[in-house]
A and B are shown apart, each in its own frame.
Chain A
Amino acid sequence: MTIAQTVPAGSGTAGGSAADAVTHEVITGKLLATVDEMAIVLARASMSPVVYEVLDFACGICDAAGDLVAQTNGITIFTGTFSHQVRFLRARFGADMAPGDTFLTNDPFEGGTHACDFAIVRPIFAEGAIVGYGIAVAHLLDVGGAVAGSLPPDATSVFQEGLRLSGVRLTRGDRLIDDIVRIITENVRLPQLAMGDVNAELAAVRIAERRLGETIEKYGAAAVQRTFGRLIATSEARARAVIAALPDGDYSATDVIDGDGATEAPIPVCVTVRIRGSEIEADFTGSSPARAAPINCSRGALTSAVKTVMKALVAPQEPSNEGWFRPLTVTAPPGTVFTAEKPSPTGWYYEGAAMASELVWKALAPLAPQRFPAGTYMSLCATYIAGSGPDGLFVHIEPQNGGWGATRHRDGASGMIAITDGDTYNYSVELLEAKFPLMVTRYDFNVEDGTGAGEHRGGFGLVRDYEIETDDAVLYGSFGRTATRPWGAEGGEAGSLNGMEVRRGGSARRLTRPARFQLQRGDQVSIVTGGGGGWGAPQGRDPELVARDVRDGLVSVALARDTYGVVVDPATGRLDAAATAELRSAR
């Protein structure tokens, strides 16, 4: 890409002198260092494993208008929610904000995602006026509602999904407001953990205020605000240049969500991406109406999901800010599965959001193959095992890693976290066994179900088996891609499916979106994620790579022969080049 030419030359002088240009870079560096520091403090001080181990959180700084100017490198699904949430709180509190105030919202219908995600926002003042906001969002382990963990997969309305605090003041003069704390602690199952996480988030936004304050003290509020404006303007110009270089046109994709828990029936969804000059629109009109089931997402999460793919298209490795998304419009009528409205449940919003991301990706893939691989296991396959153990109530939440699609240049990645997440970690077996009455009996590649074959094959999904070591536990979760396999690209084959199975004695029960499956001591819960789609025809795969996969126990001798047309000696794992050439030429 030759972006440089489309940016006004000498933008270093556009805002003033050379000194200004350098000051801008210096302040930008401080902003990025600040959001990094916020994230470190939040992760390390938090109390929920889903925050400190899985890192399901993000931090950022927005300007006085609420536009994002800097964000941590954490999780993609929060890419687009910050600005919505800050604008909502500005609209609600207006001039009634003072230094030392912080505000809390977890409302999915006001820019949020689901009630578990607590957004904490602190206005930052200079000379009596707001210059920006520090924001932290973290997934609290439990916020009340129908089940421990607050995500009943059979919820039919948002009121079953826990406490909703739709824009409340949390501190005044940097002191927690006791009434709000009482509402939280009396309405959640693990109040000490909840307040631990709230404290960690407060610490993060306090850091934002402190560091931004230091920067303002040194360079002045005006210089800092100029940097905010310039960061956004520069990103916008670069994003527009990338869009403008793509051919105008309408690009469509369709797919299905595999059931909503109440029914296994496929739920049709679609997108049309329209590119006109430097503008891009993602239009989800025609997608299924919202379901009375929590796989819906709200408009805030939809926007965020589309922004993730927009960022992947225009500048995957640059720091995020609102400017990259200025050329983007997200269109969808209210009340679809992607634009659920109150009181639709949204607890498992990432099921809908992940699909929205993959739809746009699938539509754009032919235009920008260097950016977009074949289909992935997609669903976060989040699994809850909750119950009582030696230390009382426990809630084990776990997003599962799976197979990614092959790319134009190489095989897909195995066992990597889904599109909605990012720098998020799987759970250490040693750590979780020390904490919960669970024992992991297997954690390895899902070789049995395989991956999408291709010139480059998909990455492998995983198998994680739990043995239950308590008499009181329930299993719930919500797995997508349990019937429709990840798509292959350019002649590559489709990948394999996600699924969950409970084995008891000699019998096995297959589950997709179980709401409250009662477990017994000794049960084996087997969590399986799928392999990604392949890229290019399997017959074109380098025979040596096929032989390597056979030696590694990833591909059988029969599959090598039948799918790839490659003959491998079963005893040595060596390639038989002559027999392979003969077999391939005969096809």
Chain B
Amino acid sequence: MTRIATDAGGTFTDLVAFDELTGAIQVGKALTTPRDPSIGVVDAIAQAEEEGLATAEATLFVHGGTTVINAITERKGVATALVTTRGFRDVIAIGRGNRPDLYNLHSEPAQPFVPRHLRFEVTERMDARGEVRIALDHDDLAAVADRIAASGVAAVAILFLHSYVNPEHEQAAARFLRERLPGVAVAASHEVSRQWREYERSNTAVLSAYVQPIMARYLSNLADALGGRGIDCPAYCMQSSGGLASFPSAVAAPLVLVESGPAGGVAGAARVGEALGEPDILYLDVGGTTAKCSLVSGGRPVLKPDYKLEWSRLKPGYPVQIPVVDIVEIGAGGGSIAWIDPAGAVQVGPESAGSDPGPACYGRGGTRPTVTDAKLLTGVIDAEGFAGGRIQLDVAAAERAFGPIAAHLGVDVVAAAEAVIRLAEANMINALKLVTIQRGHDPRDLTMVVSGGGGPMHAATLGRELGVRRTVIPRYAGLFSAWGMLTARPRIDMSRTRLIALGPDAMPRVQAVFLELACEAATAFGVAAEALIADRTIEMRYRGQEHAVATPYAPGESLAALLESFHAAHEKAYTFRLDDTPVELVTFHLAAELETPRVGLPDISAETTLAEAACGNRPLIGADGRLAPAPVYTRDLLPPGAEIAGPALIEEATTTTLVLAGQTARIDRYGLISIAEIPSAENPGTERDDREAAG
């Protein structure tokens, strides 16, 4: 009963194996092998086997990693051609023509992944209703096929206008090119997206083609290697949607792996929420370089409506139409460097000291102040016990690094460190509000799950500022993404753009669209539609609007009920509703998960006592900015039911949990730490009448 996850990152390939009966965790680590990442995975497995991992007992194998995103960001995909409707060769180069870096007169659009000489036009045309205006010209297509063959590309994307409503021309062209160009990967846009907007769908098809041959080879090698080591359990890839995909479906649409790693953490947060009986979870992960946050609503990850690769405030990026969990990422992690900007203000990140040289206190040559150094100076991290005592931290180096900022602010180094932590946390708060308040969710209704090596040090403060119900630190917080992959279920996301006016005759059409999507999902999994757990949403809008609001839909729901849930969703998102305005249905989404047993959360041992877990005191910064002794506990020795009043520190090998004065930390049967405010006269924890309606 062992589930195995491997995560092939930029530098290391990590393995986590979880024994569902005993709750034991085993880890393996190997160098990532970029030329063929399956080698690194096998190395990690071999290493874990030496430590006792019994691969023959594996019941599930999940693989995630950064191969897809790295191939794209490092421009190491294959040479790719594009076949498109005559007259539209440059759509992919023009993009949306926007200049987000609006005062920089040197800015430029995102460069397309297909150069102009590899963009070919074919005579054909559909209209917006899906009717053929100009038949597909097969002679044109044959001539283009010859030119593509001569160009030596390894992949071809096809984008014909309006294929989202009628894909016949794309299907015919794809069939023809696959036959004519053996060995060349062909991705037709309707196979990867059935949503409108030609530029966005072009990018989706092109990027899919660009990485497809790499992923096909990689996953085929990995499947062979797993077989060779006797791992014959079901094997999946972690998708960006928070669900799993079989190897063949990942090969067919490799872009779904683009945010594979972060999605694992979100899936894990959803599983923790299920164990706690909390369907709505705010999730935060703080790593070395960045903090990422995301929302789980109704037990499901929330997906981003418009995902863009390489986007920033100043760069248009590459929009792609694939289901990706809505993650807001900011440059604030343990390694983030504090600096003084040209205006004289102290800033934190996005530059990070990374792992080499790392924070100043690591003593590996780093001289600039980081958040980790600040945590050391304020007493949250222990100089002796860091990383299970394997690394002795250098307090003097941290003090030296904070000297300039302390001088600039005119305070001592501890106060300077405290200021830097406040700034890093303010950035995290803004990101957390972006996924909650700005999307119409009140943090006071949510439980926050915090992971990552850095997360539990900030969790208590962030939870208090946001006013969440409680803050939960899962076990193995430092390995949470990989553990999360083990909790995910096989999943497929289907979407269809179909413009329907919401009137008396709309509901049968709605049911027909969802039936079509459900049948396609069932076929993809090779099961009956009843075996799927399906989640249906409809993007709806008032007539005249363009952007729509995702509205949940239950099969058989009445028109009146659907209309009311749309009005409510609109008001939640945008502060108003227009009861008398006609409503339209635009895009239909069906997320189907295969019903499979969820990973269990085993109970922790009750054989120790709170007193045994206590391991002394150390000076910790308080609300008054002074260092005062605070009790320290060893997490692994804390029994279920234990309650600790803050201020306190709870240590484990990969992180330290900070509990503030005025809070209690409670250990539950699964070993989860729940931090909550102690109700008081000024802080009537359960009184909620002061809240704002839609705040």
| Residues of chain A at the chain B interface (Cβ within 8 Å) | 3-4, 7-13, 17-19, 21-22, 24-26, 29-30, 33, 37, 40-41, 43-49, 52-53, 55, 73-76, 192-193, 196, 199-200, 202-203, 206-207, 210, 214, 234-235, 237-238, 308, 311-312, 315-317, 320, 361, 371-373, 401, 404, 407, 409-410, 413-417, 419, 421-426, 428-431, 433-434, 439-445, 462, 465, 551-554, 573
A342–B546 CA distance with the chains assembled, in angstroms: 36
Please give the distance in Å from A159's CB to the nearest CB on chain B: 28
Is B97 a contact of A416 with CB atoms below 8 Å?
yes
The stretch of B339-347, B451-459, B588-596 in contact with A is: B339-347
Is A40 a contact of B346 with CB atoms below 8 Å?
no
Please give the distance in Å from A378's CB to the nearest CB on chain B: 12
A26 interface neighbour in B115, B342, B426, Cβ under 8 Å = B426
A397–B415 CA distance with the chains assembled, in angstroms: 56
A29 interface neighbour in B103, B162, B426, Cβ under 8 Å = B426
B423 interface neighbour in A3, A26, A416, A423, Cβ under 8 Å = A26
Q: Chain B residues with Cβ under 8 A from A9's Cβ?
A: 344, 408
Q: Chain A residues with Cβ under 8 A from B94's Cβ?
A: 401, 414-415, 426, 443-445, 462
Q: Which residues of B (648-695) have their CB < 8 Å from a CB of A?
A: 692, 695
Q: Chain A residues with Cβ under 8 A from B434's Cβ?
A: 33
Given contacts A25-B345, A26-B423, A415-B93, contact A203 B576 (CB under 8 A): yes
Is A443 a contact of B90 with CB atoms below 8 Å?
yes
A431–B196 CA distance with the chains assembled, in angstroms: 7
Sorted nearest first, the 10 A-B pairs with minimum C-beta distance are: A422-B102, A11-B344, A47-B544, A401-B97, A552-B116, A442-B87, A18-B409, A434-B128, A444-B90, A316-B104
A75–B102 CA distance with the chains assembled, in angstroms: 7
Mask for B90-126, Cβ within 8 A of A = 1, else 0?
1101111111111111111100000111000000000
Please give the distance in Å from B264's CB to the nearest CB on chain A: 28
Mask for B149-164, Cβ within 8 A of A = 1, else 0?
0000000000001101
Is B101 a contact of A316 with CB atoms below 8 Å?
yes
Q: Can you name the residue of chain B whose Cβ is closest to the Cβ of A74? A: B102
Is B342 a contact of A444 with CB atoms below 8 Å?
no
Of A76, A429, A465, most buried by chain B (CB within 10 Å of CB) is A429
Is B97 a contact of A439 with CB atoms below 8 Å?
no
Given contacts A44-B574, A52-B545, A434-B499, contact A425 B97 (CB under 8 A): yes
Of A9, A47, A76, A308, most buried by chain B (CB within 10 Å of CB) is A47
Is A25 a contact of B96 with CB atoms below 8 Å?
no
Is A238 a contact of B343 with CB atoms below 8 Å?
yes
Q: Can you name the residue of chain A whose Cβ is closest to the Cβ of B345? A: A25
Please give the distance in Å from B198's CB to the nearest CB on chain A: 5
Given contacts A73-B313, A238-B342, A552-B115, contact A415 B578 (CB under 8 A): no
| Residues of chain B at the chain A interface (Cβ within 8 Å) | 87-91, 93-109, 115-117, 127-128, 133, 161-162, 164, 196-199, 313-314, 340, 342-347, 408-411, 415-416, 419, 422-423, 426-427, 430, 433-434, 438, 499, 542, 544-547, 570, 573-576, 578, 581, 692, 695
Please give the distance in Å from B123's CB to the nearest CB on chain A: 12
Please give the distance in Å from B337's CB to the nearest CB on chain A: 15
A441–B127 CA distance with the chains assembled, in angstroms: 11
A543–B84 CA distance with the chains assembled, in angstroms: 30
Please give the distance in Å from A456's CB to the nearest CB on chain B: 11
A326–B196 CA distance with the chains assembled, in angstroms: 46
Is A22 a contact of B419 with CB atoms below 8 Å?
yes
Of B90, B127, B340, B410, most buried by chain A (CB within 10 Å of CB) is B90
Is B117 a contact of A552 with CB atoms below 8 Å?
yes
Please give the distance in Å from B339's CB to the nearest CB on chain A: 11
Is A423 a contact of B99 with CB atoms below 8 Å?
yes
Given contacts A196-B545, A316-B103, contact A428 B198 (CB under 8 A): yes
Is B128 a contact of A430 with CB atoms below 8 Å?
yes
Q: Chain A residues with Cβ under 8 A from B133's Cβ?
A: 439
Q: Chain B residues with Cβ under 8 A from A422's Cβ?
A: 98-100, 102
Q: Chain A residues with Cβ under 8 A from B340's Cβ?
A: 12
A43–B306 CA distance with the chains assembled, in angstroms: 14
Given contacts A47-B544, A207-B575, contact A76 B102 (CB under 8 A): yes
Please give the distance in Å from B127's CB to the nearest CB on chain A: 7
Is A196 a contact of B314 with CB atoms below 8 Å?
no
Is B574 a contact of A41 with CB atoms below 8 Å?
yes
A53 interface neighbour in B499, B546, B692, Cβ under 8 Å = B546
Q: Chain B residues with Cβ under 8 A from A10's Cβ?
A: 344, 408-410
Is A317 a contact of B438 with CB atoms below 8 Å?
no
Q: Can you name the residue of chain B whose Cβ is closest to the Cβ of A373? A: B105
Please give the distance in Å from A70's CB to the nearest CB on chain B: 13
Q: Chain A residues with Cβ under 8 A from B342's Cβ?
A: 3-4, 7, 238
Q: Chain B residues with Cβ under 8 A from A235's Cβ?
A: 343
A317–B198 CA distance with the chains assembled, in angstroms: 30
Q: Can you name the residue of chain B whose Cβ is closest to the Cβ of A76? A: B102
A49–B116 CA distance with the chains assembled, in angstroms: 30
Q: Chain A residues with Cβ under 8 A from B100's Cβ?
A: 73, 422-423
Given contacts A12-B344, A22-B346, A417-B97, contact A44 B547 (CB under 8 A): yes
A309–B440 CA distance with the chains assembled, in angstroms: 37
Given contacts A7-B344, A73-B100, A465-B87, contact A196 B109 (CB under 8 A): no
Please give the distance in Å from A129's CB to the nearest CB on chain B: 22
Q: Chain A residues with Cβ under 8 A from B409's Cβ?
A: 10, 12-13, 18, 21
Is A553 a contact of B116 with CB atoms below 8 Å?
yes
Is A19 a contact of B344 with CB atoms below 8 Å?
no
**CB pairs A–B below 8 angstroms (16 shown):** A8-B344, A12-B340, A21-B346, A22-B426, A52-B547, A196-B542, A210-B692, A413-B109, A415-B95, A422-B99, A430-B161, A431-B546, A433-B161, A444-B88, A445-B94, A462-B90
A199–B581 CA distance with the chains assembled, in angstroms: 13
Given contacts A21-B409, A52-B546, A434-B128, contact A428 B99 (CB under 8 A): no
A33–B433 CA distance with the chains assembled, in angstroms: 9
Please give the distance in Å from A42's CB to the nearest CB on chain B: 9
Is A200 a contact of B574 with CB atoms below 8 Å?
yes
Is B544 a contact of A21 with CB atoms below 8 Å?
no
A428–B164 CA distance with the chains assembled, in angstroms: 14
Please give the distance in Å from A190's CB to the nearest CB on chain B: 8
Please give the distance in Å from B284's CB to the nearest CB on chain A: 17
A433–B198 CA distance with the chains assembled, in angstroms: 12
Given contacts A421-B99, A422-B98, contact A206 B575 (CB under 8 A): yes
B574 interface neighbour in A19, A45, A49, Cβ under 8 Å = A45
Given contacts A18-B410, A21-B346, A317-B314, contact A426 B545 (CB under 8 A): no
Q: Chain B residues with Cβ under 8 A from A401's Cβ?
A: 94, 97
Is A18 a contact of B499 with CB atoms below 8 Å?
no
Q: Can you name the residue of chain B whose Cβ is closest to the Cβ of A53? A: B546
Please give the distance in Å from B377's CB to the nearest CB on chain A: 14
Q: Chain A residues with Cβ under 8 A from B410's Cβ?
A: 10, 12-13, 18
B117 interface neighbour in A311, A444, A551, Cβ under 8 Å = A551
Given contacts A22-B423, A26-B426, A425-B96, contact A441 B87 (CB under 8 A): yes
Q: Can you name the residue of chain B whose Cβ is closest to the Cβ of A428? A: B197
Is A18 a contact of B128 with CB atoms below 8 Å?
no
A573–B87 CA distance with the chains assembled, in angstroms: 23
Q: Chain A residues with Cβ under 8 A from B108's Cβ?
A: 410, 413, 416
A44–B572 CA distance with the chains assembled, in angstroms: 13
Q: Chain B residues with Cβ under 8 A from A317's Cβ?
A: 101, 103-104, 314
Is B93 a contact of A433 with CB atoms below 8 Å?
no
Please give the distance in Å from B622's CB to the nearest CB on chain A: 15
